[in-house]
């Protein structure tokens, strides 16, 4: 079967308005229109070709990224793109570059930690890209103060960096502060005196994150002008006197709150991309199961395929909505900070850290699962999945190792519980802790499988599990005379309690989304199915927690699984339409297996012949190495 839409029969099965779902996914009609327009702009411009990335050497790859970045910037200026449009352009160009750190961390660090005066001096230069900055926090060896190691953009391109270093005045160590440091000459790009800087070397996977110049940086007696210390949080006077503003010191880490929030939104994009590929391919692929000489079974109809794929589809939507909410939370906390209200900063930190950890871990695992769901073809670069995995997986490490971040959440939970005694009522995502007495003894009253479809039932089960796990940790911690020793000893349990809390946040935000007015035929109903799949999949996966804390009975766990199977059957006819709703172009997906028309096999065949190895019938090296070997064996055989 050549040409045409090979997935048309699947698209006809949809029980909801796909166009309306596209708007829900994008966040608003305006966001959809911007995204749609920019994705087509990028897809139709050959300058943004990316299918050759895995074939290029590091130097070619990097130069190509510089070309794309310069070209993208030129187009942004020519087309007078807004900030929203420019960041969509970056998204669809789909290539990590030094510009990410410039726009995503260098600029926000100056905005968040610089004084008005500092912002006036540096931001215009940065906005016009007359200087290029990076974010230099991580060290080669922890606390060694020897070398910065890892900052993206540092290796070869940045002219400036926000460097995090200890401030010592009059022999007194005031802790870590941010400093704007010029690294390279603006004339010939050579490192300034006393500065050693370079790339740290090739990273995991071909193409992938190797478009980025992660760098190493050393200073030898480098003098930083006093007014280049970011001074919103604390200051050093001309006389060398150190003082602090009336704001919490934690604001020094504010850039991380911002970036972690964007990483959660990105997780839904990376996961939905992998899921789109695996879902379309699962509908195209037929394997075994033919009856009475009919066609073989589409692999998407195997229950095992559904039980691996549909929770990932549901997770992509769940991460989308929690990402939307997190953006709102971040905007809210930023407005409060501007009004000197710092009360919600700890919660914003805990939410961004915990959700970054959960969503990136699930997305990295999910991409790999999608590769397996595509069988052997998933391992081909032309499936798009190997590069997606390689480029995505460091998200589990950068912006804070995921386990370290969960420990931050655990500290926040323990602190919240300890404050209950003093009558402080928890708010926001920890409000449920205010009902801790009820949650410690409540009984789930599910009696039949459909009872698991009630949002209140699901919420109470997740709240009770989270509260009971946190309370158990707090009780165990109180047995230690040294709290830090206790925290270290119980860190495994604390991480699990933090995971339970963050899963509750994601489930509850999905449920809240469904309480909104959602237009479009069948759209809300499909989202309801996905929400229940997400919650019951988690419940099934973590049933050990739910059972051991006594939140549900074994019979109720069994009923949850029964309901989950029924939900998979409901999702099945809508699966292709649910991934179409992401509105990804074939260029962005970068995958033959996931192409919109499902015409997979001719495209795979054609792509194979484009591989450089197939440029000649006899490969380079044959004459040199193989032919003499064959000749030798022929001679031996004749003897
Ligand atoms: C080719 C095409 C190009 C196209 C171009 C087009 C042009 C583009 C135009 C527009 C484009 C726009 C694009 C934008 C793209 C954006 C993408 C951004 C991508 C970013 C990629 C990310 C790269 C990665 C960067 C990094 O990794 S940076 C390094 C990050 N490091 C960490 O995260 C370290 C983790 N460790 C911690 O977080 C530790 O907590 C700490 C901060 C190091 C502190 O540790 P310490 O031990 O000193 O303290 P703690 O005990 O941990 O905490 C003390 C108290 O502070 C509280 N706390 C901690 N952290 C925070 C925080 N972040 N916020 C608030 N509070 C915090 C903590 O709770 C403690 O409180 P207490 O009350 O208990 O005392
Ligand atoms: C692709 C990429 C891009 C990056 N970009 C930048 C950048 O632009 N700027 C920048 O400054 N940095 C950047 N980084 C560095 C990144 O932020 C760090 O790698 C990350 O914060 C983890 O720190 P680490 O490497 O020191 O890991 P470590 O802290 O050494 O972690 C190693 C292991 O120890 C465990 N561990 C560590 N501490 C604890 C603890 N307290 N309790 C329990 N377990 C613990 C961790 O869970 C992990 O398993 C980047 C990293 C990568 C991979």
Predicted confidence (pLDDT) per residue in 340-379, tens digit: 899 999 999 999 999 999 999 999 999 999 999 999 999 9
Neighbours of 565 (CB within 10 A): 13
Q: Ligand 2, residues 104, 138, 200: which to mutate, most atoms within 8 A of Cβ?
A: 138
Candidate of 163, 203, 391, 398 to mutate for ligand 2, largest count of ligand atoms within 8 Å of Cβ: 398
d(CA 460, CA 463): 5
* pLDDT at residue number 293: 80
Instruction: Reduce the DSSP state of residue 184 to 3 states and report it.
Output: strand
Closest ligand 1 atom to residue 350 Cα is 69
- Quick one: pLDDT at residue 289? 82
Task: State the distance from the centre of ligand 2 to the C-alpha of 255, rounded, in angstroms.
Answer: 16
Tokens of 519: 């237009």
Domain ranges for the chain, please list them.
Answer: 115-231, 599-638
The pLDDT score that the predictor gives to residue 1 is 43
Residue 621 assigned to a binding site: no
What sign for the dihedral angle of Cα 610, 616, 617, 623? negative
Among candidates 495, 322, 319, which has minimal Cα distance to 408? 495
Cβ proximity of 593 and 600 under 8 Å: yes
* Distance of alpha carbon 503 from alpha carbon 536, whole angstroms: 12
Residue with CA at minimum distance from ligand 2 atom 37: 404
115-231, which class in CATH? mainly beta
The ranges of the chain with pLDDT < 50 are 1
- Sequence-ordered list of residues with C-beta below 8 angstroms from that of 40, at least 6 positions apart, any chain: 585
106 lines ligand 2 (CB under 6 A): no
Pocket test for ligand 2, best of 158, 357, 397 (most atoms within 8 A of CB): 397
Q: pLDDT tens digits for 463-515? A: 999 999 999 999 999 999 999 999 999 999 999 999 999 999 999 999 999 99
408 lines ligand 1 (CB under 6 A): yes
What atom of ligand 2 comes closest to residue 134's alpha carbon? 8
For residue 417, give every residue at least 6 positions away whose Cβ sits within 8 Å of its Cβ, in sequence order, or none: 433, 436, 470, 471, 474
Residue 58 neighbours by CB distance under 10 Å: 15
Residue of 286, 283, 302 whose CA lies nearest to 294: 286
Catalytically annotated residues: 399
- Nearest by Cα to 312 from 346, 273, 338, 257: 273
Ligand nearest to the CA of 216: 2
Residue 147 in contact with ligand 2 by CB distance below 6 A: no
Is residue 184 within 8 A of residue 198, CB to CB? The reply is no
Q: How far is the CA of 484 from the centre of ligand 1 (A)?
A: 23
Which residue pairs, CB below 8 angstroms and at least 24 apart, start in 301-306?
A: 301/572, 303/565, 303/568, 305/373, 306/568, 306/571, 306/572
Q: State the closest ligand 1 atom to the C-alpha of 97, by its place in the atom list counted from 1.
A: 1
In terms of Cα–Cα distance, which of 21, 134, 11, 4 is closest to 529?
21
Q: Which of 566, 510, 555 is nearest to 534 (CA)?
A: 510
């Amino acid at each position: 079967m050549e040409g045409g839409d090979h997935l048309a029969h699947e698209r006809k099965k949809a029980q909801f308005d796909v166009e309306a779902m596209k708007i829900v996914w994008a966040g608003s009609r305006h966001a959809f229109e911007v995204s749609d327009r920019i994705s087509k702009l990028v897809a139709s411009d050959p300058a943004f070709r990316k299918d050759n990335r895995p074939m290029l050497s590091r130097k070619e790859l990097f130069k190509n990224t510089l070309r794309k970045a310069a070209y993208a910037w030129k187009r942004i200026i020519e087309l007078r793109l807004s900030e929203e449009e420019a960041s969509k352009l970056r998204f669809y160009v789909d290539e990590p570059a030094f510009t990410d750190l410039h726009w995503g961390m260098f600029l926000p660090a100056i905005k968040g930690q610089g004084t008005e005066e500092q912002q006036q001096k540096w931001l215009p230069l940065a906005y016009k890209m007359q200087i290029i900055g990076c974010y230099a926090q991580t060290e080669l060896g922890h606390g060694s103060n020897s070398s910065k190691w890892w900052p993206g953009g540092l290796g070869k391109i940045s002219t400036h960096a926000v460097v995090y270093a200890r401030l010592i005045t009059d022999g007194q160590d005031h802790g870590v502060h941010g400093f704007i440091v010029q690294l390279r000459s603006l004339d010939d790009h050579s490192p300034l005196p006393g500065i050693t800087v370079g790339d740290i070397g090739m990273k995991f996977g071909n193409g992938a994150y190797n478009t980025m110049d992660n760098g190493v940086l050393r200073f030898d007696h480098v003098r930083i002008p006093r007014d280049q210390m970011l001074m919103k949080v604390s200051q050093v006077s001309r006389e060398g006197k150190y003082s602090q503003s009336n704001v919490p010191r934690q604001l020094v880490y504010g850039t991380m709150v911002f970036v972690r929030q964007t990483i959660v939104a990105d997780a839904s994009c990376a996961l939905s991309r992998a899921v789109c590929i695996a879902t379309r391919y699962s509908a195209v692929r037929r394997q075994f199961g033919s009856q009475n000489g009919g066609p073989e079974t589409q692999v998407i109809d195997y229950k095992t395929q559904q039980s691996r794929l549909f929770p990932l589809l549901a997770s992509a939507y769940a991460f989308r909505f929690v990402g939307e909410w997190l953006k709102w939370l971040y905007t809210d906390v930023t407005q409060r900070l501007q009004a000197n209200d710092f009360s919600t900063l700890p919660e914003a930190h805990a939410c961004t850290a915990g959700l970054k950890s959960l969503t990136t871990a699930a997305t990295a695992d999910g991409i790999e699962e999608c590769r397996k769901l595509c069988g052997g073809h998933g391992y081909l670069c032309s499936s798009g999945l190997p590069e997606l995995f390689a480029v995505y997986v460091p998200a589990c490490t950068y912006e804070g190792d995921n386990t370290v971040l969960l420990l931050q959440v655990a500290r926040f939970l323990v602190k919240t519980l300890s404050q209950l005694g003093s009558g402080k009522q928890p708010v926001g995502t920890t409000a449920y802790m205010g009902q801790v007495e009820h949650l410690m003894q409540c009984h789930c009253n599910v009696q039949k499988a459909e009872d698991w479809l009630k949002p209140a039932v699901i919420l109470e089960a997740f709240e009770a599990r989270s509260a009971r796990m946190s309370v158990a940790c707090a009780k165990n911690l109180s047995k230690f005379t040294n709290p830090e020793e206790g925290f270290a000893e119980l860190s495994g349990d604390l991480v699990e309690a933090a995971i339970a809390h963050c899963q509750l946040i994601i489930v509850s935000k999905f449920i809240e989304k469904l309480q909104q007015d959602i237009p479009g035929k069948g759209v809300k109903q499909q989202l309801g199915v996905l929400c229940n799949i997400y919650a019951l999949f988690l419940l099934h996966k973590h049933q050990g927690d739910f059972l051991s804390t006594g939140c549900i009975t074994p019979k109720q766990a069994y009923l949850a699984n029964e309901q989950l199977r029924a939900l998979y059957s409901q999702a099945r006819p809508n699966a292709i339409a649910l991934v179409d709703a992401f509105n990804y172009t074939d260029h962005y997906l970068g995958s033959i297996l996931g192409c919109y028309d499902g015409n997979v096999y001719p495209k795979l065949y054609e792509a194979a012949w484009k591989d450089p190895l197939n440029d000649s019938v006899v490969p380079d090296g044959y004459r040199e190495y193989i032919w003499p070997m064959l000749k030798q064996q022929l001679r031996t055989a004749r003897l």
